[in-house]
């Protein structure tokens, strides 16, 4: 069971209301154990999720601790957590996932960071806060909108925006540790409007191995690559992350007069079975979905692929110093 804000809560896994009594909670648990047990044809993944959910809230003590936001594993403690000392990864909130403070993070390390522009996760946090206030109700004072107990009680579609913000902040923090040879622009406008909303790419990263368009995602559940698209139980059927990134990258590349070396979707380590998966054919060939911990390696070494991709990478290396001022003057941030 994911510890991401976007992941299912133990109550959602067990299919009960958070206010349910202990007897009904136990009945739901036992019923789901029978339904999901592999020996009776059940889903082994769901079977494990049910067991873990019960471990979190099965006893009155554990349930009370979880409801107070003090369960055995709070959000931000797993694969999606910010790397220690990474730029943009420090939190000003005691909850562990409040707004990032770049100055506080920089104070933790004397190493030279990558150049960073824009506010990773800023838009997503604004949406999260707006939806949260609407859900709580007008006139209700929220002492800490990032309090774990409050976050866990919110609907999953609201929690998903916080998970997205944390994912973007984590990626920016990781790139920050790669050093002065890298530059990252966050929340970059592509110049396109989709359904009346200005389209953005989470990160544009320039480094020695090339120029990359990067999306940071956390759906709170496992995902995989199916042909040329990312799929998973938590990914909406109408959402095409790689195709959307491809369209945005092409539009931005045309407006800037540059060629991107690759397209990357970054997900929490636990949500991808393989270290990374690469689209092998079609217009999106060379696009990658990768575990977050392997992003530094990918950005340092580049994406292996066909000759066109390799030529693009060499071009980006040769023209890195020329590209940086062009990108800086041409990129528009949301």
Percent residues over pLDDT 70 in the chain: 82
User: Structure pTM?
Assistant: 0.81
Residue 327 CA to its chain's centroid (Å): 25
Same domain, 55 and 107: no
Higher pLDDT, 171 or 108: 171
Please state, in angstroms and rounded to a whole number, the distance separating the CA atoms of residues 121 and 88: 10
Nearest in space to 199 (alpha carbons), one of 151, 255, 153: 255
- Is residue 169 situated within a structural domain? yes
Task: With cut-offs at 50, 70 and 90, classify the pLDDT of residue 68.
Answer: confident
Q: How far apart are CA 212 and CA 261, in angstroms?
A: 6
Total domains, the chain: 2
In a domain, 37, yes or no: yes
Q: Is the pLDDT of residue 106 over 50?
A: no
Parent domain of 51 = 10-67
Mean pLDDT score of the chain, rounded to an integer? 85
182 phi and psi angles, rounded to 5 deg: -115, 150
Residue 1 lies in a domain: no
Would you say residue 94 lies in a domain?
Answer: no
Pairwise CA distance, residues 76 & 94, whole Å = 12
Are 249 and 263 contacting, i.e. CB atoms less than 8 angstroms apart? yes
DSSP H stretches of helix in 144-281? 148-153, 156-176, 241-256
pLDDT, residue 5, reads 92
The Cα–Cα gap between 123 and 129 comes to: 10
Q: What is the mean pLDDT of residues 203-210?
A: 94
To 10 degrees, what angle do helices 44-57 and 60-67 make? 90
User: Do 200 and 271 lie in a common domain?
Assistant: yes
CA distance 78 to 89: 14
Residue 48 is part of a domain; what is its CATH number? 1.10.287.110
Note whether 153 and 44 are same-domain residues. no
pLDDT of the residue at 240: 96
Please write the tens of the pLDDT for every residue from 262-320. Answer: 999 999 999 999 999 999 999 999 999 999 999 999 999 988 644 444 455 445 555 66
Same domain, 19 and 141: no
Are 92 and 103 contacting, i.e. CB atoms less than 8 angstroms apart?
no
Residue 85 domain flag:
no
Mean pLDDT of 35-47: 91
Query: Of 24, 50, 67, which marks where a domain is finished?
Result: 67
Is 90 inside a domain boundary?
A: no
- At 95, list the tokens: 């909850």
């Amino acid at each position: 069971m994911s510890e991401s804000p976007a992941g299912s809560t133990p109550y959602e896994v067990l299919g009960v209301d958070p206010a349910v009594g202990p007897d009904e909670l136990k009945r739901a648990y036992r019923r789901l154990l029978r339904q999901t047990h592999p020996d009776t044809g059940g889903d082994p993944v769901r079977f494990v999720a049910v067991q873990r959910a019960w471990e979190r809230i099965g006893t009155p003590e554990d349930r009370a601790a979880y409801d107070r936001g003090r369960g055995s594993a709070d959000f931000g403690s797993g694969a999606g957590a910010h790397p220690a000392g990474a730029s943009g990864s420090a939190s000003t909130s005691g909850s562990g996932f409040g707004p990032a403070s770049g100055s506080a993070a920089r104070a933790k390390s004397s190493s030279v960071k990558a150049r960073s522009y824009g506010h990773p996760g800023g838009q997503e946090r604004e949406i999260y806060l707006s939806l949260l206030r609407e859900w709580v109700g007008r006139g209700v004072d929220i002492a800490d909108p990032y309090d774990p107990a409050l976050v866990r009680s919110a609907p999953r579609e609201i929690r998903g925006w916080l998970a997205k913000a944390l994912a973007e902040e984590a990626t920016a923090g990781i790139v920050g540790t790669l050093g002065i040879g890298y530059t990252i622009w966050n929340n970059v406008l592509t110049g396109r409007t989709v359904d009346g909303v200005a389209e953005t790419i989470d990160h544009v990263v320039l480094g020695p191995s090339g120029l990359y368009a990067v999306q940071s995602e956390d759906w709170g559940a496992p995902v995989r690559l199916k042909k040329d698209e990312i799929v998973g139980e938590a990914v909406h059927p109408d959402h095409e992350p790689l195709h959307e990134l491809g369209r945005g990258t092409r539009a931005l590349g045309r407006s800037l007069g540059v060629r991107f070396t690759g397209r990357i979707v970054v997900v929490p380590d636990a949500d991808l079975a393989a270290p990374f998966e690469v689209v092998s054919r079609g217009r999106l060939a060379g696009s990658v979905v990768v575990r977050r911990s392997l992003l530094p390696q990918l950005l340092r070494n580049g994406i292996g692929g066909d000759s066109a991709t390799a030529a693009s990478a060499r071009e980006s290396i040769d023209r890195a110093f020329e590209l940086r001022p062009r990108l800086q003057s041409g990129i528009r941030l949301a």
